[in-house]
Structure 1
Amino acid sequence: MSLRKFDHFVAIDWSGAAGPRQPGIAMAICEAEGGAPVLVQRGSAWSREEVLSILRDQLPANTLIGMDLGISLPFADCGAFFPDWPESPASAKQLWALIDLICTDQPNCEATGFIDHPELSRYFRRHGGREGDRFLAAGAPDKRGRLRVTELAQQNLGCKPYSNFNLVGAAQVGKSSLTGMRMLHQLGGAIPVWPVDPLPETTSVIVEIYTGLAAIAAGRTAGRSKIRDYDALNSALATLGSPPVKGRGPIDDHSSDAILTAAWLRNAAQNPQFWSPKGLTKQIAVTEGWTFGAF
């Protein structure tokens, strides 16, 4: 297949935490022509609205943007996001719109109103031992909860994915995914989101990333995916063929995730297998989406 050529690669480590500014958000960018990834610095922690503004108005043209969040919820296992709920959306974009509608009065792209909804809360595992009676619905492989087809593919590559319906524990990504889906809806189609949208021939595109895949490609394991010092980061970058970044001593894992994954995206964008994974059907594309790099 003929592969798209991108000029820039951006990786964003996202956060679903409450509050106007998120220390867990980090952004890094690198150029197709080479060079080390550069961390996009802020005077204070990022807000989700600032990231939205950059995506909409400030990124260079022809950029591949990886966001570390789930762009949808499981659908294929039960034939619905919320089985037996008459108002269950039929597509990822309808899901994004529903989240944003229910949470319209909540600031900072937060999604608490969605998971506290009297019907929808039944499908989530929340803090305080509040596990909805539909969390382990038919199709859940184990106590981690329901998984998307792409998460099963991640698992086959050595990762340890959890359900986006799970909102509890250090490994959960449900909160960041729900806030991210709200943000994607608010983008209003300004940037296509692959594979929910077809891959455009030109212009920028957003893909879902799992930073653990970048770490594995850089010679680390899923259990050692988090990098917290510059020596380890530059060793991983070297494995990916990237020049080192400047710095010594400790680095927070959000920044290192963004830096390493930006370098990985530069390589991964040229792998045709990542754009045509065997488990990705048209139906899965528009309902569950996919994680770039899982195949």
Structure 2
Amino acid sequence: MLKKVDNKWQFASENNLEDFVWSRLNSLLGLSGLKRQYRVYGDTCDILALDENSRLVILELKNVEDRYIVQQLTRYYHSLLDEKPFQQQVNYELPIRLIAVAPSFHYHNWIDKKYHQLSFEFMTFTLSQQQNEVYLQLQNLDTKENIQTTVLNGSLIQKTKVSQPQTLVITESSGTATYTRAIDNILSYYVLVKNAHKLGIPELEPSEIERLNNLGFPNKVSKLFKIRVKETRTKSGYRDISIRVPSSIGVWDFHWWVKAHVPTAIETITPSGRRHSLYRYSRG
């Protein structure tokens, strides 16, 4: 999900940026998601969402500066206004909001915005590291409002004694999972070594099980998550598997790791009972 270039953090791809924004759509922008990668008249909109007034919001995300982002949003606006999807949720009597998110904007973008008949919201994002955490800061360039949220929480590095180096693990298969080597070891032990058979997935190789056992993780841990898996033999169509992990494991650490490693899982359930869907999709 993240990479470090010249000592600066970046999203590894635009897809990773989209994954992150979609997962924090409400906390970052106060929006409710409608659809990702929505295809309309040959174009593909990154994210369609609703604001608190049921206005349609079109978000276009760029991982690098792009001088044609205004033209792109203009085409989406025209096509969506013509098609009017999600009519039960969207109030089309209100203007459609057009939001562009990028690390920076070309001066051509500002010229296009200034003389355009439509209204555009420009937002920049930056990634910065403070001690063991990487933050994303989002700024609305019109209102100057700033929002900051954690992208990568590395507090577990200091709390866990693991002999292996705490390098980043990036799981390309899911495109969303970013965590430390320490977290990968811990969850491999408590989820896969102890519960693979319950989750309906193959057990690890004996040598890997031995390696994880030798790391000396405690048997008694306090934080209780659940993984909901498909189960055709039950009336509900699923069953919940209880997984206990160390208290230092965060909700999103657990969620993204399960998404990458447990293909039978359909939801994760937090200790407070909140359910998070393991949404999987492929870009068209």
Structure with higher Rg: it is 2
Would you tell me which structure has more strand in proportion to its own residues?
A: 2
What's the TM-score once normalised by structure 1's chain length?
0.26
TM-score by length of 2: 0.27
